[in-house]
Amino acid sequence: MKNIIIIGSGLGGLSTALRLSKDKYNKITILEKHS
Protein backbone atom coordinates (compact mmCIF):
# COMPACT_ATOMS: atom_id res chain seq x y z
CA MET A 1 0.00 0.00 0.00
CA LYS A 2 1.26 3.44 -0.90
CA ASN A 3 0.51 6.41 1.33
CA ILE A 4 0.08 9.48 -0.88
CA ILE A 5 -0.34 13.06 0.35
CA ILE A 6 -1.67 15.68 -2.05
CA ILE A 7 -1.25 19.30 -1.00
CA GLY A 8 -4.06 21.50 -2.31
CA SER A 9 -7.60 20.58 -3.25
CA GLY A 10 -7.88 22.66 -6.40
CA LEU A 11 -8.64 21.23 -9.80
CA GLY A 12 -5.16 19.75 -10.18
CA GLY A 13 -5.09 18.16 -6.74
CA LEU A 14 -8.54 16.61 -7.05
CA SER A 15 -7.95 15.26 -10.55
CA THR A 16 -4.65 13.75 -9.40
CA ALA A 17 -6.41 12.13 -6.44
CA LEU A 18 -9.07 10.74 -8.76
CA ARG A 19 -6.48 9.16 -11.05
CA LEU A 20 -4.53 7.68 -8.13
CA SER A 21 -7.70 6.38 -6.45
CA LYS A 22 -8.31 3.96 -9.32
CA ASP A 23 -5.60 1.77 -7.77
CA LYS A 24 -7.25 0.31 -4.67
CA TYR A 25 -3.87 -0.12 -2.95
CA ASN A 26 -3.28 3.64 -2.67
CA LYS A 27 -4.22 5.50 0.51
CA ILE A 28 -4.71 9.15 -0.43
CA THR A 29 -4.80 12.14 1.92
CA ILE A 30 -5.61 15.62 0.63
CA LEU A 31 -4.39 18.62 2.66
CA GLU A 32 -5.92 22.05 2.15
CA LYS A 33 -4.82 25.28 3.79
CA HIS A 34 -8.33 26.64 4.39
CA SER A 35 -10.04 23.54 5.73
Residue 11's domain comprises 2-31
- The whole model's pTM is what? 0.77
Q: According to the model, what pLDDT value does residue 34 have? A: 84
Q: How many distinct structural domains can be found in the chain? A: 1
Angle at the Cα of 20 from the Cα atoms of 16 and 23, rounded to 5 degrees? 165
The predicted-structure confidence for 1-35, as pLDDT tens digits, reads as follows: 999 999 999 999 999 999 999 999 999 999 999 86
CA 23 – CA 32 distance, rounded (Å) = 23
Q: According to the model, what pLDDT value does residue 35 have? A: 64
